[in-house]
C-alpha cells in the first residue's frame, strides 16, 4: 500500500532537477540536490568565507560552518559532533583511517557483500585478510560465519550496513557483538544505508560509521563518525604543521567550506521531509522512517513487476533491504538496457557499481554486471511505472 500521508509532491518540488522530466532511479550513485542545499552553498560563498583560524569575521564564518556540519552529521547518524571526521568522500577517508588502524601482524575481516571502498583500503594495509562470504542466491551475508572468522588477532571487522546493488541489510549489530567480544573494532559502511532510513550507529555497534552526503541530497562530501576518545588513540599520517586535535587530526588539507554548509542544509532538509516537532535528531528519526516506508511501498511494486517478467533476472532476495533492485534482461547487455531506458527518460545505472567482490560472487562481473534501479524519498509511482513499461518493451 502506498502511504498517502507522505508529502511526495511537496518533497519533489524542492528538487529543481526533477523538473527535467526524467525518472531519477540512479540515486544510489548520487542523489539530486534540493533548493535549500543549493541556497546554502551559494549563501556561504556570497557571505565571504576564509580559511579557519584567522582573526577576521570571514574566517569565523568558516569555523562556524564546520562546527554546524559536524553537529548535523552527528544528528543524522546518532554520533558525537567531536567525532565527525569530514573529507572529500568515503573512499578517501576510509583509506586514511585504514592506514592508521591496521597493519602487518593484524587480522581484518572484510565481506564480499561490500562496496570495494570498504574492502580494498583494509586488504591493502598489509594485515591478514579473512573473507565473509555471501549467499549468491539470496544475497544475504550469514552472521554465523563471523564466529569462525573473528579471533583474538582480529583488529577490525569491516562490513556494510546495506549493499549498494542488492540492497541487503545484514545484521550488523549481531556481527558487532561478535567483534566486540573479541576486542575488535567495527567499521560500518553506511554510504548506501544512510539515505534509506533512520540511522543509530550505536545500536548498530559501529565504532566507525562512514557516510557520503551526496547520497542523501547533499554535496560531494564524505564523513566518518567515531567516538572522539577512540579517535584520540589513532595517529594518522598528517602534516607536522596541521592541528593534532581530534577530529581535525584526520582531516588533511583545506576543507570545502561552502559544501559543508550544504551538508548541514541537507540534514535539515531530511529532518523536514514530513512535518514534526522535537530536536533535529528526533525529527530525523521520524522523517527518515516515513521516507523508508514510502520507498519500500513503491519498491514492492517495482520488484514484483520485475520478478514477474519472464525475460528479467533479478539478483538476490534479502529479507531486510533497501529499495534497490539489480537485474538483467535476456538478450541485452546491461549497458543496452540502460541506454534504452535513458531514451525513454529513465535514469538507471549499469555495471558492477564497484561491488567488485559481490558481482564476482554472482558470476556477472566480467559480463558487464547488471542494471541497478534504486528508489529514494523523491521517487514516485510514475518513476516506477515508467521503468517497468520500459523494461517490459524489451521482452
Ligand X SMILES: Cc1ncc(COP(=O)(O)O)c(C=O)c1O
Could you list the residues that contact ligand X (CB under 6 A)?
Answer: 89-91, 115, 117-118, 160, 164, 189, 191-192, 212, 222
Name the 3-class secondary structure at 147: helix
Residues facing 49 on adjacent strands: none
Closest CB to ligand X among residues 6, 356: 356
The DSSP call for residue 161 is S
Strands (E), 128-237: 128-132, 154-160, 185-189, 208-212, 222-226
Minimum distance from residue 117 beta carbon to ligand X (Å): 4
Tell the smallest beta-carbon distance from residue 190 to ligand X (Å): 8
Q: Which three cell numbers stand for residue 150?
A: 573473528
Between 90 and 364, CB nearer to ligand X: 90
Cell readout for 143 is: 552472521
At its nearest, how many Å lie between ligand X and the CB of residue 341? Answer: 20
49 vs 97 by CB, closer to ligand X? 97
Cβ proximity to ligand X: between 191 and 384 the closer is 191
Cα–Cα distance measured from residue 353 to residue 193, given in angstroms and rounded to the nearest whole number? 15
CB 93 within 8 A of CB 222: yes
Pick the closer one to ligand X by CB: 115 or 352.
115
Question: Using H for helix, E for strand and C for coil, what is the string for 93-127?
Answer: HHHHHHHHHCCCCCEEEEECCCCHHHCHHHHCCCC
DSSP calls for 45-60: HHH----TT-SSHHHH
Whichever of 120 and 340 has its CB closer to ligand X, that residue is 120
- Smallest gap from Cβ 319 to ligand X, in A, equals 19
Q: How far is the CB of 385 from ligand X (least distance, A)?
A: 26
- Residues in a beta bridge with 86: 223
Cβ 222 to ligand X shortest distance, Å:
4
* Run of H or E residues at 324: strand 324-329
Residue 366 grid cell? 566480467
State the minimum distance, in angstroms, from the CB of residue 206 to ligand X: 14
Amino acid at each position: 500500500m502506498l502511504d498517502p500521508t507522505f508529502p511526495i509532491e511537496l518533497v519533489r518540488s524542492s528538487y529543481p532537477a526533477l523538473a527535467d522530466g526524467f525518472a531519477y532511479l540512479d540515486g544510489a550513485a548520487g542523489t539530486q540536490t534540493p533548493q535549500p542545499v543549493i541556497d546554502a552553498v551559494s549563501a556561504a560563498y556570497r557571505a565571504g568565507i576564509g580559511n579557519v583560524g584567522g582573526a577576521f569575521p570571514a574566517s569565523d564564518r568558516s569555523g562556524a560552518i564546520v562546527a554546524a556540519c559536524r553537529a548535523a552529521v552527528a544528528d543524522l547518524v546518532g554520533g558525537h559532533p567531536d567525532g565527525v571526521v569530514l573529507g572529500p568522500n568515503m573512499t578517501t577517508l576510509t583509506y586514511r583511517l585504514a592506514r592508521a588502524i591496521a597493519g602487518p601482524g593484524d587480522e581484518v575481516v572484510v565481506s564480499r557483500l561490500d562496496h570495494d571502498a570498504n574492502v580494498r583500503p583494509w586488504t591493502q594495509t598489509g594485515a591478514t585478510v579473512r573473507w565473509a562470504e555471501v549467499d549468491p542466491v539470496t544475497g544475504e551475508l550469514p552472521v554465523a560465519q563471523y564466529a569462525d572468522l573473528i579471533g583474538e588477532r582480529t583488529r577490525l571487522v569491516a562490513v556494510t550496513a546495506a549493499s549498494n546493488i542488492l540492497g541487503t541489510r545484514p545484521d550488523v549489530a549481531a556481527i558487532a557483538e561478535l567483534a566486540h567480544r573479541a576486542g575488535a573494532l567495527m567499521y560500518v559502511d553506511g554510504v548506501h544505508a544512510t539515505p534509506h532510513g533512520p540511522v543509530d550507529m550505536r545500536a548498530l555497534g559501529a565504532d566507525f560509521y562512514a557516510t557520503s552526503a551526496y547520497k542523501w541530497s547533499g554535496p560531494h562530501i564524505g564523513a566518518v563518525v567515531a567516538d572522539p576518545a577512540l579517535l584520540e588513540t589513532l595517529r594518522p599520517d598528517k602534516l607536522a604543521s596541521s592541528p593534532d586535535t581530534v577530529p581535525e587530526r584526520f582531516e588533511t588539507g583545506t576543507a570545502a567550506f561552502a559544501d559543508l554548509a550544504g551538508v548541514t542544509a541537507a540534514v535539515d532538509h531530511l529532518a523536514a521531509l514530513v512535518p514534526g516537532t522535537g530536536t533535529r535528531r528526533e525529527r530525523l528519526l521520524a522523517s527518515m522512517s516515513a521516507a523508508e516506508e514510502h520507498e519500500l511501498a513503491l519498491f514492492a511494486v517495482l520488484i514484483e513487476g520485475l520478478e514477474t517478467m519472464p525475460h528479467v533476472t533479478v539478483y538476490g532476495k534479502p529479507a531486510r533491504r533497501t529499495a534497490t533492485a539489480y537485474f538483467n534482461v535476456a538478450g541485452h547487455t546491461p549497458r543496452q538496457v540502460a541506454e534504452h531506458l535513458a531514451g525513454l527518460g529513465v535514469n538507471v545505472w549499469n555495471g558492477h557499481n564497484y561491488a567488485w567482490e559481490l558481482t564476482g560472487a554472482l558470476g556477472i562481473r566480467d559480463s558487464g554486471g547488471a542494471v541497478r534501479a534504486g528508489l529514494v524519498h523523491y521517487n514516485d509511482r510514475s518513476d516506477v511505472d515508467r521503468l517497468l513499461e520500459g523494461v517490459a518493451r524489451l521482452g
